[in-house]
Amino acid sequence: MRRRKLVTIILGIIMVLPLFLGLGGMKDVMGTEKPNQTVTLHKRKFATMPADKKNTGDLMDDFGGDPLAGAIFTAYDVTTAYWEAYDEATGTDAEKSSAATTAVLALKNTVTGGTAFAATDTDGIATKALPKKSGGRNAIYLFIETTSPAGVVQGASMPFVLGLPVYNEGTDIEKETVHVYPKNVYSELTLGFTKYGVNAEGVLEEGGLARAEFILKGENGSYYNTSTRAFDLTEEQALAQTTQIASAAGGVVSVPNLVLDPGDYEFYEIDSAVSKAGLQAEDSMLYHYAAAKNPLVTAHVSRDMTITYDYYDITTTKQEKQTTASAYNYQVPAPKKDADDKDVDTDQEINFTISQKIPTDIKNYTTFSLIDEFDEELGLVNATDAALLAEIKGSMTSLADLVTGVTISGNTFTVNFDLDSLKAHAGETISFKVKMAVKPGANLDTEIENKITFDNDFAPKTDTDSVKTYGKSFLKIDMDTEEALAGAKFYVKKGDLYLGTRAGKMTWEAPTSTTKGEDGRYPFADGFVAKELTSSAEGKFSVAGLAQTDTNGEITYELEEFVAPDGYALLQNTIEFVADDGTEELPVANKHKGSLPSTGGSGIVAFVLIGVVAVGGAVLYFTKGRRQIEG
């Protein structure tokens, strides 16, 4: 009995087993309905965007272009929005699909989340499996390139819509992999500008400025490597490169064949063989640039790989978003100093004209003053700060309001200016006059210098003018023996004018009468003291502080004696001379007076009569005596 039950059970299992095997087979068949479909993106780059080309979903070896690595796409599930637009639309399936596609493309700036693909590899490929269904309907995805590699015209990276599942043409068999070929325009760019030099006169040098040097900072904050052509250096490393970006002939600065991300690229000028940020006196012929204005040029690279520039024009005014750029370096204009008379008398007022061109790049300056250093043998006519300031302002033909003050210190005065106001007068010239005079006792025939210095941020520039004064040395001698004679007194005259002083300053005036007094001197107006030269015990005397020439050539002076040495005749004629360095003495000879007998009055008659009487008496005496002896 038990054996029969066992057989029955076995037979039952054998009968049911096919059913279970059949159900298992059905499960295997249903298991082939996969939930995802693989999507492979083939990113291609083109120099210019080609005409649209329909994707087949299959490999397309003839699609064109070259692989582009580094692009990242994100697939956004827009199934609900798509089918709502599809269902609301009318017309054919193609028309309804087009309307739905347009609707979801409009969501490109508002979609969030999404499924990101890995960055495309060196073959431009990225692959990911995506669900085929969403909310019970075929899944629709909006693909957006969310990360673009350098060099891509991002404006040309258009979103696209993909609906899954995708079937083999003419069948209901799903493709194992859906191949899609998104396109990009890829551009290599050249960044550059033109470098110019502006000379000291504010004139643009023809042909541009070569050999100026720069470093280039990238969007990533690193600096351009002239060897690797990548932005992979620190600032310190960029400055230490043996080869720098430099302006070529014509001043052209060019960095070509750059694969760039959108963003800002900054050119910083660095010291070079032709220009420096902080010049010294010995570098004054070099050009300068303003380090504070770095970056000198900024290139803006847009998402569409177009370039605009910010730069400073020749007046250092910033220009923005221009299609080309220039940069300018400058020389410092030198001041000029000119004396209106360079051959002068002592105390003669000399007008020194000082002029200074306001630099073209005055906006780059933080220091601007004129420093006048004059020889100790020169003196200011207006020797107080207030008087000198009034003189300077009064002599300026324009821009007088720009002068803010004057400071005198020893043999130096400094003229200060309103720097902010100067900036509105770039290229104009400041000009004013300062009166000075040679002091008594100045060295003869020696350059008495007056130097002006333009003190500024870049290169101190100077100019010097000088004056001279002269004199004459004399030697008073006996005409016959050439022995020195003391005590002779002289005037110095020029034409009808006589040398003297008034109010302590040397000047020339005519006497009030041509008739001399008993002392041999001329009368002069009150306050004028004629200069008197007196020969010493060695016969020496001299005059100093005379001009040697005037507009007519050499000046002829005259030495007029009004007191002769004791025992000597007074010179009736003047002695002409020309002023010189005073080293050679001009002899001035006087004649000794002769001895004359006394005549007139009793003279010697009394002596003669006495002699006659004496002789007569002697004769009578001797005659009478002889008669007595003989008698």
* Residue 629 reports pLDDT greater than 50: no
Phi, psi of 372 (to 5 degrees): -105, 125
Q: Which residues pair with 576 in a beta bridge?
A: 558
Per-residue pLDDT at 21: 41
Q: Which residues pair with 590 in a beta bridge?
A: 478
pLDDT in tens, 411-447: 999 999 999 999 999 999 999 999 999 999 999 999 9
The residue from 186, 207, 233 where one domain ends is 186
Nearest to 32 by CA among 177, 174, 179: 174
Q: Which residues pair with 153 in a beta bridge?
A: 185
Same domain for 221 and 167: no
Distance CA 288, CA 284 (A): 9
Phi, psi of 250 (to 5 degrees): 80, 0
Q: Which residue has the higher pLDDT, 316 or 29?
A: 316
Q: Is the residue at 357 inside a domain?
A: yes
The residue from 427, 443, 467 where one domain ends is 467
What is residue 273's three-state secondary structure? Answer: coil
Per-residue pLDDT at 224: 98
Question: Tokens at residue 120, please?
Answer: 């495309």
Distance CA 504, CA 390 (A): 24
Q: How many domains does the chain have?
A: 4
What is residue 542's three-state secondary structure? Answer: strand
Distance CA 533, CA 512 (A): 20
pLDDT in tens, 221-250: 999 999 999 999 999 999 999 999 999 999
Same domain for 205 and 160: no
Same domain for 206 and 172: no
Same domain for 322 and 291: yes
Distance CA 508, CA 501 (A): 8
pLDDT in tens, 70-90: 999 999 999 999 999 999 999
Same domain for 175 and 204: no
53 pLDDT band (50/70/90 cuts)? confident
Q: What is the CATH number of the domain that holds 440?
A: 2.60.40.740
Same domain for 573 and 549: yes
Distance CA 338, CA 354 (A): 7
* Residue 165 reports pLDDT greater than 90: yes
pLDDT in tens, 87-139: 999 999 999 999 999 999 999 999 999 999 999 999 999 999 999 999 999 99
Same domain for 162 and 89: yes
337 pLDDT band (50/70/90 cuts)? very high
Q: Are 76 and 145 in contact (CB under 8 A)?
A: no
Q: Is the residue at 493 inside a domain?
A: yes
Same domain for 308 and 251: yes
614 pLDDT band (50/70/90 cuts)? low
What average pLDDT does the structure give for the chain?
90
Q: Are 312 and 328 in contact (CB under 8 A)?
A: yes
Q: Which residue has the higher pLDDT, 15 or 299?
A: 299
Distance CA 257, CA 265 (A): 14
The residue from 288, 303, 330 where one domain ends is 330
Q: Is the residue at 235 inside a domain?
A: yes
Same domain for 233 and 93: no
Same domain for 325 and 195: yes
Give the DSSP letter of residue 206: T
Q: What is the CATH number of the domain that holds 132?
A: 2.60.40.10
Distance CA 149, CA 121 (A): 11
Section 527-547 average pLDDT: 98
Nearest to 99 by CA among 110, 75, 78, 83: 83
CA-angle at 104, arms to 101 and 109, nearest 5°: 140
The tokens 């009064």 sit on which residue?
394
Residue-range definition of the domain harbouring residue 571? 470-590
HSE-CB at 216 with a 13 A cutoff on CA atoms is 27
Give the DSSP letter of residue 199: -
pTM attached to this predicted model: 0.75
Distance CA 131, CA 139 (A): 7
Q: Is the residue at 621 inside a domain?
A: no
145 pLDDT band (50/70/90 cuts)? very high
Q: Is the residue at 628 inside a domain?
A: no
Q: Is the residue at 213 inside a domain?
A: yes
Q: Is the residue at 56 inside a domain?
A: yes
Same domain for 294 and 391: no
Provide the total of helices (H) and of strands (E) in the chain, helices listed first.
Answer: 7, 47
Query: Between helices 79-88 and 93-105, what is the axis angle to 10°?
Result: 140
HSE-CB at 104 with a 13 A cutoff on CA atoms is 29
Same domain for 435 and 320: no
Distance CA 134, CA 83 (A): 11
Q: Is the residue at 234 inside a domain?
A: yes
